């Protein structure tokens, strides 16, 4: 079996007008072997030509058969018309009515036969005895025998009859009419025949014109088939059937085998293809093929990136708990212009998470290094006081250093109660102090029962404090960040403000978009995910997040159902 292997093509580049193929394998006997050696266009042309020839041959024989039937009926009617004319001749009717004593019927019949060109004109009496015949020896003999039905003889039925019969003069197209005398009495019949050979000769003379029409139709059909095959060849870029099947199999294997999501759109933004990963990431329904993208995905940053409203490589998108990198690439073909677009989605959740964790580890490392340096300074001070013999001052120094930290810890535990939230605030306080930023925490209630779904609160709180410290650290003294907890029943209002430069009014909506950031990463991790995650988390819980402030930034977040309302007691 012949198989064509196409050379590889690359998505995003111009496709060549023809893809070269090499043949492997051996042929197959019979028609498949004959067709397998030819190109797709040649196979289509051969099959169409064969179908056209067979159809025209069938049409030719049907036309000849139909024409033959028409000619038979025309000659039968012609014979009937001559017979009716003869039967209406008064002199002939009178001669038959009187028994034709002088043989006038034969003379009149022969005259009419020569004038009309028919094969014979036979006149009988009421008993079917011939009064005229081209062969005089048959005059006086009956016209009927046992092989012909009685219904075909008008001298018996009194009704006209037409048909094909074989008699003494061979096969003829006959027309027979009854002959009526005075008083409308049936006195005989008139039979006129035209030889079948004459009918067939006329039919044969018509065959060339029918054949010429068929050949003209064959030529037109062959020309149209040739145009169709050329168009088919252009549309398939010169690929053969095996090559097209191979390309389809390779495409399916690549689309469903890679871990990246692939989405194909035409120039009208209708979805043409999507592999399993793309359907999972975008949550496409089963009937997505051919539907506009706007019917499948709600408006938002994802739609803007797919449709090219936001241009640029490696666009960052947050889909649920996943971090996705999207790239949009146009597809062109020579002589056909732009065919559509291919959008790829790469799940970077794990790698981006590792990068962000590495950023956090580096930050903690620097904080520990600073704390270690500060601890060394305090330890040297303590050693110096002991060496000088100032024991009271040494004890007071140690007590002051440890009590300040313990007071902060006890204060947070006494107010917020939840150990995970307190641990986060203690860690952020240490990082802020090392960067010269004072982190202050206030609350309107004593959260004796703690919080519900602490994971969401930690995500929101951690990202907002990190951004606030980053904004306040480069500013002028005093540098501070304030975190406020306010409750409304079971709802928690979290407000984080800082002494930084603030956020421009024009950017207060853009800062929540995926990938928006003004900071650089030390590890190469993509920035701009924190606020996007904050907004996504809050909106998923049915809350809201707003940003305001004049001298600095103030982020206000409402988290519904975050507080154990029954245990939320006044301070």
Domains of the chain by start residue, with CATH: 64-202 (3.30.450.20), 258-347 (3.30.450.20), 412-570 (3.30.565.10)
Lowest mean pLDDT among 190-204, 268-282, 360-374, 431-445: 360-374
- Segment among 46-50, 74-78, 399-403 with least mean pLDDT: 399-403
Nearest of 296, 298, 277, 278 to residue 288 by alpha carbon: 296
Average pLDDT over residues 328-356: 78
Query: For residue range 148-178, what is the model confidence (pLDDT) as tens digits?
Result: 677 788 888 888 898 888 777 777 888 899 9
Is residue 8 pLDDT above 60, yes or no? Answer: no
* CA gap 511, 547 in Å, rounded: 10
Query: Does residue 57 surpass a pLDDT of 50?
Result: yes
Q: What is the pLDDT of residue 21?
A: 39
Q: In what order do the strands lie in the sheet with 544-548?
A: 438-443, 480-488, 491-498, 554-559, 544-548
pLDDT at residue 447 greater than cutoff 70: yes
With a cut of 50, say whether residue 409 has pLDDT above it: yes
User: Do residues 564 and 451 make contact, with C-beta atoms less than 8 angstroms apart?
Assistant: yes
For residue 335, pLDDT over 70 is answered with: no
pLDDT mean across residues, the chain: 77
- Position 299 pLDDT exceeds 50: yes
Give just the sign of the alpha carbon dihedral 40, 41, 44, 50. Answer: negative
d(CA 542, CA 456): 12
- On whether the CB atoms of residues 138 and 120 are closer than 8 A, the answer is no
Residue 158: its pLDDT value, please? Answer: 87
pLDDT tens digits, 207-253 = 787 778 778 877 887 788 778 777 777 777 666 667 777 777 777 77
pLDDT at position 516 is 54
Please give the share of the chain, as a percent, with pLDDT higher than 90: 3
Give the residue-averaged pLDDT of 136-143.
Answer: 86
Interval 498-550: pLDDT, tens: 988 888 777 777 777 755 555 554 444 445 567 877 888 888 888 888 888 77
18 neighbors 9 (Cβ within 8 angstroms):
no
Is pLDDT above 80 for 274? Answer: yes
Regarding predicted confidence, which is higher, 14 or 279?
279
Residue 517 near residue 507, CB atoms below 8 Å: no
State the Cα–Cα distance between residues 153 and 145, nearest whole angstrom. 11
Higher pLDDT: 78 or 205? It is 78
34 pLDDT more than 70: no
């Amino acid at each position: 079996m012949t198989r064509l292997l196409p050379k590889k093509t690359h998505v995003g580049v111009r496709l060549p007008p023809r893809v070269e193929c090499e043949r492997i394998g051996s042929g197959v006997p019979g028609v498949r072997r004959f067709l397998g050696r030819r190109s797709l266009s040649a196979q289509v042309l051969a099959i169409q030509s064969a179908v056209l020839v067979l159809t025209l041959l069938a049409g030719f024989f049907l036309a000849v058969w139909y024409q033959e039937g028409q000619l038979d009926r025309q000659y039968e009617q012609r014979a009937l018309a001559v017979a009716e004319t003869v039967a209406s001749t008064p002199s002939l009717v009178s001669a038959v009515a009187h028994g034709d004593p002088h043989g006038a019927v034969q003379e009149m019949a022969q005259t009419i036969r020569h004038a009309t060109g028919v094969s014979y004109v036979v006149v009988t009496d009421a008993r079917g005895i011939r009064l005229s015949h081209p062969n005089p020896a048959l005059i006086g003999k009956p016209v009927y025998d046992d092989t012909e039905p009685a219904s075909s003889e008008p001298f018996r039925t009194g009704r006209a009859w037409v048909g094909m019969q074989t008699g003494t003069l061979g096969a003829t197209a006959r027309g027979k009419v009854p002959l009526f005398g005075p008083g409308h009495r049936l006195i005989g019949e008139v039979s006129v025949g035209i030889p079948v050979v004459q009918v067939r000769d006329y039919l044969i003379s018509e065959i060339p014109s029918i054949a010429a029409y068929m050949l003209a139709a064959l030529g037109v059909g062959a020309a149209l088939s040739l145009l169709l095959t050329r168009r088919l060849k252009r549309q398939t870029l010169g690929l053969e059937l095996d090559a097209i099947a191979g390309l389809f199999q390779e495409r399916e294997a690549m689309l469903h085998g890679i871990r990246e999501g692939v989405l194909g759109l035409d120039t009208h933004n209708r979805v043409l293809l999507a592999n399993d990963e793309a359907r999972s990431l975008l949550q496409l329904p089963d009937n997505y093929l051919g539907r506009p993208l706007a019917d499948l995905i709600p408006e938002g940053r994802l739609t803007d990136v797919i449709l090219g409203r936001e241009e640029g490589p490696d666009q960052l998108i947050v889909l649920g708990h996943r971090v996705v990198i999207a790239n949009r690439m146009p597809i062109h073909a020579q002589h056909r212009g732009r065919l559509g677009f291919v959008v790829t989605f790469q799940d970077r959740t794990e790698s981006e998470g590792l990068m962000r964790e590495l950023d956090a580890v580096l930050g903690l490392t620097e904080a520990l290094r600073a704390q270690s340096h500060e601890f060394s300074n305090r330890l040297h001070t303590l050693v110096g006081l002991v060496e000088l013999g100032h024991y009271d001052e040494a004890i007071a120094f140690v007590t002051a250093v440890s009590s300040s930290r313990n007071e902060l810890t006890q204060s947070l535990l006494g107010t917020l109660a939840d150990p995970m939230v307190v641990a986060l605030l203690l860690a952020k306080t240490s990082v802020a102090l090392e960067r010269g930023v004072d982190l202050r925490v206030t609350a309107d209630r004593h959260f004796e029962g703690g919080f519900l779904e602490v994971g969401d609160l930690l995500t929101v709180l951690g990202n907002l404090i990190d951004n606030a410290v980053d904004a306040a650290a480069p500013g002028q003294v005093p540098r501070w960040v304030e975190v406020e907890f306010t409750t409304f029943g079971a709802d928690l209002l979290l407000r984080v403000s800082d002494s930084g430069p603030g956020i421009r009014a024009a950017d207060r909506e853009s800062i929540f978009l995926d990938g928006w950031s003004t900071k650089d990463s030390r590890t190469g991790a993509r920035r701009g995910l924190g606020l996007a995650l904050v907004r996504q988390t809050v909106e998923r819980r049915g809350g809201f997040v707003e940003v305001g402030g004049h001298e600095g930034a103030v982020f206000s977040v409402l988290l519904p159902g975050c507080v154990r309302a029954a245990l939320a007691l006044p301070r």
